[in-house]
Structure 1
Amino acid sequence: MIELNALTRRYGRTTAVDDLTLTVRPGHVTGFLGPNGAGKSTTLRMIIGLTEPTSGTVTVDGVRFADRPRGLRHAGALLDAGDVHGGRSAVAHLWALARSNGIARGRVDEVLREVGLSAAARRRIGGFSLGMRQRLGIAAALLGDPPVLLFDEPFNGLDPEGVRWVRDLFRRLAAEGRTVFVSSHLMSEMQNCVDRLVVIGRGRLIAEQSLAEFAAGSTRAGVSVRTPDAAGLAAVLAAEGADVRPGDAGALIVTGLTAARIGDLALAHRIGLHELSTRTASLEDAFMALTADSVEYLAGEGIR
């Protein structure tokens, strides 16, 4: 379990993380979302003791990570796949981590097999592709067989097979009762692998809920309707208290009424329908709607 209590980090006059309180529980894959500059990387670094909080506390299973002499046995993390010595081999890199954390050498071979790097174990990391470095970073996170795991942008550079493997790995780790905390900008992959979401903006908590609850709260969900009499149907639905707005390719997006009720009203008013379907908001839809006021750099604004 990861617990943050009023966690704050300031850099001069800039507040990167602002009074953040949340709990990341075991048994789930928890996604960590936010626009660029929201404070996600700073938060992850504070969890594993690489950045000191300005105020507040963060613990891993009730103890500050920095107070654990053999930290990799308690929490593993992939924060930057490029942050490794390019002149070392993969096996030498992992063996150094194992020795410093009292981990048996045999575990190095196990994690290399698990991430698919056994054949490249003695190659220099400097010659690895980004996808191979990601796999090595995941191997390092798994090395101590820890109950808590953190991953920052783990899908970058992976081919489709690698993406599916990482997705399945996260689900398996959570099913084993571990705490899995994943940050990524790839919304489609997050939607496919996470159970719960933590969303921050400008360093502050915006949402902490299940994936289903988060998507259901989007204003972009509703019922999609296509009709040759869009104006007439819109007037009928508005009179029933529905919110009606234009959608793609001439469709109407209706919220506040079920598809069945819309169909009944159209029939009663002799309005023909060409399409009537429930529209579920994607994770990307919900995220964009919720964080619109927290985006620091917005494309299309022009130069001011």
Structure 2
Amino acid sequence: MWHMIEANELTKRYGKTLAVDRLSFTVRPGRVTGFLGPNGSGKSTTLRLILGLHTPTAGAVTVDGIRFRDRPRGLRHVGALLDAGDVHGGRTAGAHLTALARGNRIPKSRVDEVLAEVGLTDAARRRIGGYSLGMKQRLGIATALLGDPPVLLFDEPLNGLDPEGVKWVRGLFRRLAREGRTVFVSSHLMSEMEHTADELVVIGRGELIAAESLKDFAGRATTRLSVAVRTPDPAALTTLLTAAGAAVRDEDGLLTVTGLAAERISELAMGRQLPIHELTTRTGSLEEAFMELTAGSVEYATEETR
């Protein structure tokens, strides 16, 4: 149970609105766990329940078997970034972190350490109100790291970061996981989760859809499996495969084929003596699996997503 986040039948209701519905999952140390779901799925509410900012209507969520609100000096146990803009704009970054360190009995030396780690040393004496969104995100990450906690939660940590910042955060999360920490990251950026997460917790309308490895989840995108084919005569091969019932899309000579397996494509091409230079089966991506498996949980659906 070391450093684990455990939700058991976690439920939260606001009046007639059921935001989280009997949600059970475990977030383990030593890996990055992505937290995914459509808008309005209950992700932010769940994170606030973990941190004791909201009280469950039913069920429970604990860190190391203890409710977070029952822990004194919480920043030494769990670090979190929920809203980078939720900070006093009139304070400097140094003053903000120093106050938090004092209240959590964290050595003042940690303030300079985390400011250096997130690249804000030179901006430590500037007022936070003048920070860009990316700088505020870095400060929020510094706040989460301040107590050197074993458990870390991040809600949309990449908002406002430039490509260099995104790459840095990706490396930071991987390093924290290698150190044996529990890293729980909520994000809508599927491409980043595909490069960062080891495990996924996916919810929709407050209910659990999946809790498994990223590889296993992405592999469930069965309806969009395709085969990439390259040939010196794409027009002839397109005609042949279309006649056999496949759908073919030509992208500058690279054919993307759905509806036929790679073996059948090869057999058809050989039968017509059409040379094949590339034949690769593409498995489902994280984004495809997410769109497919959460289609019934989208709060505001367009015609394309219905």
- Same fold per superposition (TM over 0.5): yes
Tell me the equivalent position of 1:114: 117
Tell me the equivalent position of 2:97: 94
TM score, norm. by length of structure 1: 0.90
Tell me the equivalent position of 1:133: 136
The root-mean-square deviation of aligned C-alpha atoms, in Å, is 2.1
2:21 is the counterpart of 1:18: yes
Q: In structure 2, do the counterparts of structure 1 residues 200 and 256 end up closer, same or farther at CA, with 3 Å as the change threshold?
A: farther
Q: Secondary structure at the match of 2:173?
A: helix
Tell me the equivalent position of 2:226: 222
Question: What amino acid is the match of 1:220?
Answer: R
5 Å-filtered alignment, 1:1-304, equals 1-218=4-221, 219-225=223-229, 228=236, 230=238, 232-233=240-241, 236=244, 244-247=246-249, 251=255, 253-254=257-258, 257=261, 259-268=262-271, 276-300=279-303
Contact between 2:238 and 2:248, CA under 8 Å: does it hold in 1? no
Identity %: 68
- Residues of 2 paired with 1:125 and 1:232: CA distance? 63
Between 209-218 and 132-141, report the one with greater CA deviation. Answer: 209-218
Unaligned runs of 5+ in 2: none
- Residues of 1 paired with 2:146 and 2:247: CA distance? 52
Contact between 1:32 and 1:197, CA under 8 Å: does it hold in 2? yes
Contact between 1:33 and 1:184, CA under 8 Å: does it hold in 2? yes
Q: Secondary structure at the match of 1:53?
A: coil
Q: In structure 2, do the counterparts of structure 1 residues 51 and 276 end up closer, same or farther at CA, with 3 Å as the change threshold?
A: same
TM score, norm. by length of structure 2: 0.89
Shift of 1:281: 2.6
Question: What amino acid is the match of 2:108?
Answer: R
Between 58-67 and 185-194, report the one with greater CA deviation. Answer: 185-194
Contact between 2:241 and 2:265, CA under 8 Å: does it hold in 1? no
- Residues of 2 paired with 1:227 and 1:207: CA distance? 41
Q: Secondary structure at the match of 1:82?
A: coil
Shift of 1:246: 4.8
Q: In structure 2, do the counterparts of structure 1 residues 232 and 255 end up closer, same or farther at CA, with 3 Å as the change threshold?
A: closer
Q: In structure 2, do the counterparts of structure 1 residues 163 and 10 end up closer, same or farther at CA, with 3 Å as the change threshold?
A: same
Q: Secondary structure at the match of 1:126?
A: helix
Tell me the equivalent position of 1:241: none
- Residues of 2 paired with 1:200 and 1:51: CA distance? 19
Unaligned runs of 5+ in 1: 239-243
Q: How many residues align?
A: 294
